[in-house]
Structure formats: C-alpha cells, structure tokens
Chain A
C-alpha cells in the first residue's frame, strides 16, 4: 500500500531559525512523483515542488531546499532563516500508482503545522 507519513504534527521556531519538515513515503513502484504544498492561514493550497523518482538531486529555491533520499524513502523540506510568513501547514504528497504508471491521484500526508514566532 502507498502511504505518506509526516510525523511532525506541529513545529514552533523563532524567526531566523532553520527548520526541517520530514516526509517519509511508502511505495512499491519504481516510478512515482512527490510533491510539497503549502497551506497558509488563508486556506488556499500552494504548490512548492514536484520531484520524480529518477531525479535524486537536491533542489534549492531561495530559502527553501529539498532533500530526496530513495534509500530512506524520504523527501524532507528545509526552510533556512525562517520568517513569520512561512507560518503555514505543509503537506507532502505522493502520486498514486496504477497499472500504467504514476497517476495524478495524490496521497497526502497529514501535514505539519509550522509556527514561526517573531
């Protein structure tokens, strides 16, 4: 069965601290896609990153970076020098597999609430 686990329910940091949000996934498929979404207090879902299973390069985008490790089935997200505007719920998601390969059907983790205090 496919599954996404975000073990950290809530994290609280002080502004300018670095913070890592953990995501562990389970799948038997060799081709799959992983995503991170941000849900700020306003409630909308904002896409952050998409990664396929063949690309294990880490990615950096400004203060955001992602560490994809197939050996440990993890796709962790780090925010460097956190800011109050980073306060949100962050979701990790895995593309559900089908007979023909990956699909658009997403399996979401339960999310991590990040609170950045000024």
Chain B
C-alpha cells in the first residue's frame, strides 16, 4: 500500500494563478480531508469529504475548491492564488466517516509558495 500520496511536493505560484493539488489514497477510506499548516497555528481544516460525491467546508474554505468523483482521489483547487495561501498542505484519509472517528493517515504534504 502506498497510503496517502500527494503531488507535487513543492510548488511556487504567482498571485492570481490557479492550480490543483493532487491527493490519492489506496486504503479504500471513505473519509478524506485537506488541512493547511501555518507557523504557530497548528493544522486547520479546509475541506473534507465523507464519500464519493459528498464534500463540505471546514474552518478555512475560502479560495479553495474540492470535488470527489472517486473514493481514491480528492484534489484541492486553488482558484486564484494569493500570498495568504502560502502554506504546507496536508491531505488525510480515515477509515470511518463519523460518530467514532479513527486515526487519520496523512500524506507527506505539499509546500506551496505564492509570490
């Protein structure tokens, strides 16, 4: 099992550009999510999905879009990059979808810089 994979590992964007961060998992997990990690702020939830075709917003969704067409993939789209979106982005997946949450498996992260 590859677990949770993310591409790219590093990315530099100019303000206003758009891009998609890719996330895939091979554990057949229903739950997937995106977090961003900023210095001194821990991790904050951007968007999450409890299954194919179902997505919802987390704590900091503005400027990001997601879709979930398959169980395996959960891409994160930056619509018009801003310097405030400079961060490390983590994708995660989990066996359960709620009620009794299990541990989440995290990808290796994508370090994004917006100039």
Interface set of A (CB-CB < 8 Å, partner B): 4, 33, 35, 37, 43-45, 47, 50, 52, 91, 93, 95, 98, 100-106, 108-111
Please pick, from A35, A47, A108, the residue contacting B44 in the complex, using a CB distance under 8 A.
A108
Residue of B nearest to A46 (CB): B106
Verify B101–A109 contact, CB threshold 8 A: no
The CA-CA distance from A95 to B104 in the complex, in Å, is: 11
Contact with A along B38-61 (1 / 0, CB 8 A): 001111110010100000001000
* A interface majority secondary structure: strand
Residue of A nearest to B31 (CB): A104
What class of interface size applies to chain B in its complex with A? 20 to 34
Cβ-Cβ contact count across A and B, 8 Å cutoff? 65
B99 neighbours in A (Cβ, 8 Å): 100-103
Residue of A nearest to B102 (CB): A50
Chain B nearest Cβ from A27, distance in angstroms? 14
Verify A47–B105 contact, CB threshold 8 A: yes
Verify A43–B109 contact, CB threshold 8 A: yes
B102 neighbours in A (Cβ, 8 Å): 50
Verify A105–B48 contact, CB threshold 8 A: yes
Verify B108–A47 contact, CB threshold 8 A: no
Tell me the chain B residues, 61-115 only, with Cβ under 8 Å from chain A. 88, 90, 92, 94, 96-106, 108-109
